[in-house]
């Protein structure tokens, strides 16, 4: 059983559509991060959410941390081909919420946006 | 500010050989972590170094080892390679802050034949 369950696994949409990706768990976390990874590249940090109920916006991307800090969502408005990539959620696991470099990742959502 | 640099980007080895991968972190970052990424298992934590000391280790066999130098550069070594070691090996650096945000390199793609 994965600590972080991401859904959907695959998403193929047309340019201009909206979409939401989910990251769920039964555990409570001190913080949660979202990364995007493009083919041939390493993951790039998009956002960190820390407070339950927190909403952060990054241009057309909206991130929300669940009230109970067990889940998170990523909503993309008017998707563009440049949004194509693997979206990963991750949480730090370590004493006191510090990760010492150790993040546990979800399996990811592969998003393809067609022109 | 230069990003995380990993070398080599691609390499092919045969079973039984060993391999060494190198990582130069972002200037000022003292924490370096290593991850293995495969289609089946996703991203899995190998180990983390801070000021030349291993502070954290994942669930990988002893064939996987690493070290960090005084300039924060890090290397990881895999001995007695197996077919299942074929993967993208990612290095990440950080300040080691509370939220553990990582800055990844582009990775070293290892193929074991």
Does position A98 have pLDDT exceeding 60, yes or no? no
Q: Which residues of A14-34 are buried (b: 16+ CB within 10 A; e: fewer)?
A: eeeeebebbbbbeeebbbbbb
pLDDT digits (tens, 9 = 90+) for A65-88: 999 999 999 999 999 999 999 999
Q: Do A94 and B100 touch (CB under 8 A)?
A: yes
The residue among A99, A104, A105 with the most chain B CBs within 10 A of its CB, best to mutate, is A99
Q: Do B42 and A108 touch (CB under 8 A)?
A: yes
State the pLDDT at residue A99. Answer: 66
HSE of A57, CA atoms in CB hemisphere, 13 A: 3
Alpha-carbon distance B104 to nearest alpha carbon in chain A (angstroms)? 5
In this prediction, residue A2 has a pLDDT band, given cuts at 50, 70 and 90, of confident
Which residue in chain A has the smallest CA separation from B97? A98
- A101/B contact by beta carbon, under 8 A: yes
State the pLDDT at residue A72. Answer: 98
Q: Which residues of A78-87 are buried (b: 16+ CB within 10 A; e: fewer)?
A: ebeeebbbbb
- A103/B contact by beta carbon, under 8 A: yes
State the pLDDT at residue B42. Answer: 93
B105 contacts on A by Cβ (under 8 Å): 42
- Which tokens is B84 given? 């299942």
Alpha-carbon distance A68 to nearest alpha carbon in chain B (angstroms)? 18
Query: Phi then psi for A97, rounded to 5 degrees?
Result: 85, -5
Region B71-82: what's the mean pLDDT?
97
Does position A94 have pLDDT exceeding 70, yes or no? no
- Which tokens is B27 given? 């200037």
């Amino acid at each position: 059983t994965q600590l972080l369950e991401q859904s959907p696994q695959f998403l193929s949409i047309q340019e201009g559509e909206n979409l939401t990706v989910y990251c769920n768990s039964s555990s409570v976390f001190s913080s949660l991060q979202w990364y995007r990874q493009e083919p041939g590249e390493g993951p790039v940090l998009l956002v960190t959410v820390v407070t339950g109920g927190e909403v952060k916006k990054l241009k057309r991307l909206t991130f929300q941390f669940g009230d109970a800090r067990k889940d998170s969502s990523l909503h993309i408005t008017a998707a563009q081909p440049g949004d194509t990539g693997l979206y990963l959620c991750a949480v730090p696991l370590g004493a006191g919420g510090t990760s010492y470099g150790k993040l546990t990742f979800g399996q990811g959502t592969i998003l393809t946006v067609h022109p | 500010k230069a990003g995380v640099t990993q070398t080599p980007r691609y390499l092919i080895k045969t079973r039984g050989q060993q391999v060494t991968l190198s990582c130069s972190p972002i200037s000022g970052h003292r924490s370096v972590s290593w991850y293995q990424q495969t289609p089946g298992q996703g991203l899995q934590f190998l180990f983390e170094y801070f000021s030349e000391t291993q502070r954290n280790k994942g669930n990988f066999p002893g064939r996987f080892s690493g070290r960090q130098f005084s300039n924060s550069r890090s290397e990881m070594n895999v001995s007695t390679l197996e077919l299942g070691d074929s993967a993208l090996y990612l290095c990440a650096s950080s300040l080691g802050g509370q939220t553990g945000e990582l800055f990844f390199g582009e990775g070293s793609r290892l193929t074991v034949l």
